[in-house]
A and B are shown apart, each in its own frame.
Chain A
């Protein structure tokens, strides 16, 4: 009890890192033919910023995320996290993918514990796993296997699995894309509040203009493949935002116009 009393409260460093994407180009090798996906993309993301990458599907947004995560090296150009070159994946930049990709042979707790286990620190930091599970509201499901979870709960578990590592950069690859619209709205709100509380830098890929505008400080609009930056829009509205805000509606019209959809507005 005494030890408990004097133990320091668990503190989350939660300092967002900056990201620098400098003249990055990338291409896929498909049966010997080079398919360019990214063309000379340069972008600086400030610490604690929430940046949405918006573009038509198949334009290369997800590829850019894979480069940021360090899962692949770019063909040319460099990426930096807090000024340090990104060469490999690192738990300071965690990705939440479109599919939850929970490991089906592990229950929720063991899935969330994955990062700490891989880094060899799980033994002394089991509390962090419990905290992360509480944070996403899955405390009652910690012993449940993934096939018993609904889509929204599985994505929450995936979010907890990312957050348990106290990432400096949270990389989100359309994590809400496959959820039903109600769950989606609920999780958007949760995402914003997590970001505000923890202070990580967030990079969100989406093809939903409304989602980008409701969540992000900055919306980067990308062109068709090979992706180039078409526009860099600041969303000057505090959270929580109202979906019906005329300011957002105006931005949305502008953004959809950039994506070649003005006729629908």
Chain B
């Protein structure tokens, strides 16, 4: 810095001041303009040609795409006046561009020119049609899935946590539980499906049990390893300060193990999703898995894609929620991964 002379800095500063605002604005808006063009392309791809099949929402989807294009253009060109919304829009403009192009290509490849075999690859408007026309059934399925998942997961997480703390803490409990854990834990919970469905009074309780089982195993193992890996120094400190065993468990072992517990909860969430979908496909007469199965029976491929998208959003939200809770509880950790 010290090698700069004052006059150099002045010249550079002057040149920048003249050229910068417009160029900056143009640069920042460029991707936004591209995104707008991509969405216009999608809208036109819907409206310019006639559909090869019979879809009722083509026109509406085309108009919708053009509205999004207009909003994107206005939003990015005027981002400086829109505050945070404008900044976020600009930041997401590359993704919006890619999405618009993908949708335009998809539209052309399916509804317009049938480059992809038709019943298996429905166009975007067919999927939108599912959301508008089959909403009640889809909504009921979502509610059923969420209820089943939540019940099973909470039971499994609580059971896994308690088991993990017990075997991490007590040698004698570990002696009995550890072999059982090793024998049953690695078995995929779905392998129990046939047995569970006729030993449990209802398919719902069987599925809850299996989801709980799939959740409990990783939660148990990671809670256990978390409790077992707590440094003895923490216990020494607490003991010299007058801590009783119950204090050592609740105020030392458990908080120290929490980062591990959350890894277990995360893994349990993943494997419980798999069990949920399979259970719904095989035995439970409700939920998104059942909806998928039902749609396949009717060769309603658009419904399957629609259900898949909803499912993915639900699973992703569940994980987001878990990470939010973790960030709340583990503020004391540094460098935690942002989901």
Contact = CB atoms under 8 A, between A and B. Distances in A.
Contact of B239 (A89, A99, A107): A89
Interface stretch (A4-12, A113-121, A194-202, A252-260): A113-121
A161 interface: yes
Contact of B236 (A91, A93, A97): A97
B332 A145 contact: yes
B247 interface: yes
Most buried by B among A93, A94, A118: A118
A161 B241 contact: yes
Nearest to B233: A101
B84 interface: no
A263 B98 CA distance: 77
Interface stretch (B36-44, B114-122, B189-197, B250-258): B250-258
A148 B252 CA distance: 20
Contacts of A70: 240
Nearest to B243: A118
B15 interface: no
B242 A104 contact: no
Contacts of B240: 69-71, 89-91, 93-95
Contacts of B331: 145
Contacts of A94: 240-241
A160 to B, nearest CB: 12
Given A105-B255, A105-B258, A114 B332 contact: no
Most buried by A among B231, B251, B334: B251
A165 interface: yes
Nearest to B238: A118
A178 interface: no
A141 interface: no
A20 to B, nearest CB: 19
Interface residues of B, number: 23
A104 B332 contact: yes
Contact of B332 (A105, A119, A161): A105
Given A105-B332, A147-B332, A118 B244 contact: yes
Nearest to B254: A105
Nearest to A91: B242
Q: How large is the interface on A (under 10, 10 to 19, 20 to 34, 35 or more residues)?
A: 20 to 34
Interface in A81-108: 89-91, 93-95, 97, 99, 101, 103-107
A99 B234 CA distance: 11
Does more than half of chain B's interface fall in helix, strand or loop, or is it mixed?
Answer: helix
B233 A71 contact: no
B251 A117 contact: yes
A76 to B, nearest CB: 23
Given A89-B242, A99-B233, A147 B256 contact: no
B169 to A, nearest CB: 17
A114 B233 contact: no
A89 B239 CA distance: 6
Given A118-B247, A147-B332, A101 B241 contact: no
A164 B234 CA distance: 18
Nearest to B231: A101
Nearest to B333: A104
B238 A114 contact: yes
A115 B332 contact: no
A118 B241 CA distance: 7
Interface string A161-175: 100010000000000
A25 B216 CA distance: 48
Contacts of B247: 117-118
A105 B241 contact: no
B255 to A, nearest CB: 5
B48 interface: no
A64 B243 CA distance: 21
Given A70-B240, A89-B242, A91-B242, 5 more contacts: A94-B240, A103-B252, A105-B258, A118-B241, A118-B244
21 contacts: A69-B240, A71-B236, A71-B240, A90-B240, A91-B241, A95-B240, A97-B236, A101-B233, A103-B252, A103-B255, A104-B332, A105-B256, A106-B332, A114-B237, A114-B241, A118-B238, A145-B332, A147-B334, A161-B237, A165-B241, A165-B242
